[in-house]
Amino acid sequence: MHNGYTYIISKRYGQKTIWICRRNRHSQCRGRLHTINNTVVNEIGEHNHEPSSVDSGVLQATAAMRHAASTTDKTTHNIVASGVAQSSTQAISSLLDLRNLKRTVRRTRQRQQNPLAIPTTRDTIIIDPEHTKTMRQHTFLQFDSSPINKRLLIFSTKKQLRILESSESEYVDGTFSVVPEIYFQLYTINATYLEHIVPVVYILLQGKTQRLYKQMIDEIVQLSPKFSPQNIMMDYERAAINVFSKKFPTAHISGCFFQNIYRRVQHAGLTKLYADDPDFSQNIRSIAPLSFLPTTDIISTFQQLKQQFPAQGQPVINYFEETYVGIESRLFRLRKQPKFELDLWNTHENTIQYQQ
């Protein structure tokens, strides 16, 4: 920060550092600084915007939070709350959201605490008993299959397991973007609690086979013998659906294809068109509401939708037809069995029951 302008490092040459205005990329601001040993020796170019006291306040608040994370044992929540409280109203409006601020504090603290080396294989994972508990010293690592058995890890607390048992509806989902590199996915089971959906069980899996899902469910039932959901909502993954259906034969299993539709948009290279063309995006969004119709109305409504669907969106509507409705036979005017039956993704009855 210099004279009300914020700079970021562009290049280093020994003791000399070249800085550019932080608005260089988005506003093509040409303001630059040269420093030697953190002393400004030259200012080059003119800024195309006014100096900002708000930027200064944001930087000061963020720096204070990082300093507190490195030098105190305050909780993450207290550090962020204190930093926000000491900021001006204008700076507060420009700060990152609370979730990102807390993430910044946690990352700063992790770097200061010299974390353990990240294992390169599942077989080399060594979990110190100290790291199997929550901050309140409640057991969090509930199951470890050991290195000789694909290293399945299940995390939860006793309270979360009780919530799992008491909840009639569960929502399960696999995440791939935040999982450690030595695992394939982080599988999460969410339950209803006090009219909210909360995560209660986390499982690190090395794949998505039926054998792995069966082992996972068997171990969870061992931990929660009363776990017997009436409704299960999950992604359209045949291996997982098969396992949950067999383990809980009386449960109503339904899928959620909203994400799958958008993934198909991305797969077909239509992301930019979806973002730029309101009419096209509206056509894509009109597919998902089919799940709220009575099953007897889905086919006829889908046919009407397909007839008026734009040519660019054919890869998406064809994917949906093949996967969720069934391709129509030209010879017999009948539809083939879709990959996922209508009853699996239709939510009409659930919606009616919820309203009642």
Alpha-carbon distance of 131 to 124, in angstroms, equals 16
What does DSSP assign to residue 328? B
Query: Among the residues of the chain, which ranges form H helices?
Result: 24-27, 53-71, 76-85, 89-94, 98-112, 158-166, 210-223, 238-247, 258-267, 271-276, 278-285, 295-307, 314-320, 342-345, 348-355
Confidence band (pLDDT; 50, 70, 90) for 249?
very high
Which of 25-34, 35-44, 46-55 comes out lowest in average pLDDT? 46-55
Instruction: Say how far apart CA 253 and CA 233 lie, in whole Å.
Output: 6
- Residues comprising the chain, all counted: 356
For the segment 20-24, the average pLDDT, to the nearest whole number, is 81
Give the highest mean pLDDT range of 66-70, 140-144, 339-343: 140-144
Starting at the earlier edge strand, list the strands of the sheet with 252-255: 141-144, 153-155, 196-205, 185-193, 169-175, 231-234, 252-255
Measured in whole angstroms, the distance separating CA 326 from the mean position of its chain's CA atoms is: 30
Higher-confidence position of 308 and 65? 308
**Mean of the pLDDT values across residues 69-89?**
76
Which of 10-24, 61-75, 94-108, 205-219 has the highest average model confidence (pLDDT)?
A: 205-219
Name the residue among 302, 331, 304 with its Cα closest to residue 319. 302
Reported as half-sphere exposure (CB side, CA atoms, 13 A), residue 226 has a value of 8
Distances (CA, A) of 197 to 142, 169, 347, 349: 21, 9, 18, 20
Quote the CA–CA distance of 16 and 335 in Å, as a whole number.
71
Report the mean per-residue pLDDT for the chain.
83
DSSP tag of 156: -
Strand 185-193 relative to strand 196-205, pairing: antiparallel
Quick one: pLDDT band at residue 356, thresholds 50, 70, 90? Answer: very low
Where is mean pLDDT largest: 28-32, 91-95, 198-202, 286-290? Answer: 198-202
pLDDT at 337: 86
Mention every residue, 6+ apart, whose C-beta is less than 8 A from residue 59. Answer: 1, 6
pLDDT at 194: 87
What separation in angstroms does the CA of 135 have from each of 15, 62, 160? 43, 25, 15
User: Is the pLDDT assigned to residue 87 strictly greater than 80?
Assistant: no
> 81: closest CA among 65, 96, 58, 103?
65
The answer to whether residues 2 and 17 touch, using CB atoms and an 8 Å cutoff, is no
How much of the chain, in percent, has pLDDT values that exceed 70?
87
Residue 311 CA: distances (Å) to CA of 243, 307, 316? 38, 10, 10
Note the pLDDT tens digit of each residue in 169-228. 899 988 887 788 888 999 999 998 988 889 999 999 999 999 999 999 999 999 999 999
Confidence of residue 95 (pLDDT cuts 50, 70, 90): low
Map out the domains of the chain with their CATH numbers: 7-44 (no CATH), 60-112 (no CATH), 122-255 (3.30.420), 258-355 (no CATH)
State which amino acid sits at residue 248: F
Residue 11 DSSP SS3: strand
Nearest to 315 by CA among 274, 276, 282, 268: 268
Q: What is the largest CA-CA distance in the chain?
A: 82
| pLDDT value of position 291 | 85
Taking alpha carbons only, the member of 330, 267, 280 closest to residue 309 is 280
Position 58 pLDDT exceeds 80: no
How many CA atoms within 13 Å lie on the side-chain side of 176? Answer: 4
**Which DSSP letter does residue 148 get?**
G
Q: Give the separation between CA 293 and CA 297, rounded to whole angstroms.
A: 6
